[in-house]
Amino acid sequence: MSPEHRAETEPHRPPPYLSSILADALRESTERRLLDLIREGPVPHHLGLIMDGNRRFAQSHGLIIEEGHLKGKEKLEELLNWCLEVGVRILTVYALSTENLNRPAEEVSQLMDLFADAFRDIARDPRVHKHRIHVAAIGNRAVLRADVVEAIDLAEESTKDYSDYFYNVAIAYGGREEIVQAIRRLAEQVAAGTLRPEDIDDRKVSENLYTANLPDPDLVLRTSGEERISNFLLWQVAYSELYFSDVLWPGLTKTDFLRALRAFQLRRRNFGK
């Protein structure tokens, strides 16, 4: 086939730069449409987030694991903006589980460096102070490195008087351990004579959890395609809506996030009734 004939028969493909422009326009149009729909309905008051896929993202993009975790940190900073834009008032993110501490020592050390930097960044983030975001870490601080605990203390101290928004970071956290600690506190109160066993109910248990002063999550979003809770807020998510995204965490887009919120709005919540 001659070059002239081939040019006549092959479909015309737009140049790469034009394809990129068209893709960006389509994405922006989709985001605007989803935002308009979401603003007409109820937005999750409390969003739980299981950020899964940093290591697989790094592997699939030819990066080292440390770079994958850094990309994940950057994505979380983006998502905080998205939450502020749509009006999510409480965000609780699963940053480090107790099981994650069993990873190779070098990776755990790199994560500790990342967390120390992240909490120090939070303490001086203009968004945090502009929107009066109360920052808290939930989990077993006793197993964290000293500089991470110092950075957490700095972030919490600098935001302790804020209450417009709440940003909770679950670090060295395990849902079962949290429940066990709540049971111990209740047992101590019974032993001290300040609480009768027959007065222990779900409200009393909730009051002794890390999230004692917060409502339970309305929606839990997990990335990476895995469909499990992985020991995250086991007590609190009893009636939460769950949304699982196939996208690896650092690759999550604003459109993916908005689709999760829209899916939440289209569900009917019965709370076991």
Active site residue 54: no
CA distance linking residue 265 with residue 258, whole number of Å = 11
pLDDT, the chain, mean: 93
Q: What mean pLDDT do residues 132-161 have?
A: 98
Position 212 pLDDT exceeds 70:
yes
Instruction: Sort strands 241-244 and 219-222 into parallel, antiparallel or unpaired.
Output: parallel
For 89-120, what is each residue's pLDDT tens digit?
Answer: 999 999 999 999 999 999 999 999 999 999 99
* Token couple for 72: 């994940």
Q: State residue 22's pLDDT score.
A: 62
For 53-67, what is each residue's pLDDT tens digit?
Answer: 999 999 999 999 999
Cβ-contact 72, 54 below 8 angstroms? yes
Q: 3 in a domain, yes or no?
A: no
Q: State residue 105's pLDDT score.
A: 95
Q: State residue 26's pLDDT score.
A: 77
Comparison of pLDDT for 14 and 209, the residue scoring more: 209
Q: State residue 12's pLDDT score.
A: 63
Domain count, the chain: 1
CATH code for the domain in which residue 172 is found: 3.40.1180.10
With a threshold of 0.85, does the pTM exceed it?
Answer: yes
Q: State residue 27's pLDDT score.
A: 77
For 29-79, what is each residue's pLDDT tens digit?
Answer: 889 999 999 999 999 999 999 999 999 999 999 999 999 999 999 999 999
Nearest 10 degrees: Cα torsion 141, 142, 145, 147: 60
Q: 190 in a domain, yes or no?
A: no
Q: What mean pLDDT do residues 141-150 have?
A: 97
Active site residue 52: yes
Q: 65 in a domain, yes or no?
A: yes
Q: Taking the CB of residue 125, how many other CB atoms lie within 10 A of it?
A: 20
Q: 212 in a domain, yes or no?
A: no
Q: 199 in a domain, yes or no?
A: no
Q: 95 in a domain, yes or no?
A: yes
Question: Please, what sign has the CA dihedral across residues 240, 244, 247, 249?
Answer: positive
Active-site residue identified among 100, 147, 231, 256: 100
Q: 185 in a domain, yes or no?
A: no
Q: State residue 1's pLDDT score.
A: 53
Position 17 pLDDT exceeds 60:
no
Q: 196 in a domain, yes or no?
A: no
For 213-252, what is each residue's pLDDT tens digit?
Answer: 999 999 999 999 999 999 999 999 999 999 999 999 999 9
Active-site residue identified among 24, 36, 52, 218: 52
Note down the domain range covering 114. 45-176+218-265
In angstroms, the Cα distances linking 62 to 74, 108, 224 are: 18, 20, 18
Q: State residue 29's pLDDT score.
A: 87
Q: Taking the CB of residue 196, how many other CB atoms lie within 10 A of it?
A: 9
For 255-268, what is each residue's pLDDT tens digit?
Answer: 999 999 999 999 98
CA distance linking residue 214 with residue 237, whole number of Å = 12
Position 15 pLDDT exceeds 80:
no
